[in-house]
Amino acid sequence: MAVTPVAQSRTEDVLRRLSLRRTGIDRLVESIRMGSTTLGEVFERAAEPSDASSEDAEVCSFVYLVKIAEAVPGIGKVKARRILEQHHLSERTRVGEVPLHVRALLVEALS
């Protein structure tokens, strides 16, 4: 079955956007690992309105919280998952989905 030019264009556009998002997530995780970005800053960026620097806010709110927690210096995979479990958050919780009252507790626990 032949693929129409419109469908091909849409597919290429989706793949391009996914690639950009993946690159943004990798950059964010690496900046946390290096200590140049904190968990509090990630929560602040994720809470920004969608019109202000939307790409950065979108990446911060889209990434899984466990990925960010594991990247914090001094926190490993096991400790990160235990802390999330203590706050009743699953591994599939995205940063943008974390309730506001839990964010401060997580910043304290993961610092």
The model's pLDDT over 32-83, given as tens digits with 9 standing for 90+, comes to 999 898 888 888 888 876 655 567 788 888 889 999 999 999 988 999 999 9
Q: What is the pLDDT of residue 56?
A: 77
Using CA atoms, how far residue 101 sits from 36, 91, 97, in Å, is 24, 19, 12
Domains: count for the chain: 1
Looking at 35-99, list the stretches that DSSP marks H as alpha helix, in order from N- to C-terminal side: 39-47, 54-62, 65-71, 77-86
Q: What is the pLDDT of residue 92?
A: 92
- Tracing tokens 């910043």 back to the chain, one arrives at 107
Domain CATH code at residue 78: 1.10.8.50
- The CA distance from 86 to 89, in Å, is 8
Residues 6+ apart with CB under 8 A from 24: 55, 56, 59
Structural domain boundaries enclosing 67: 5-109
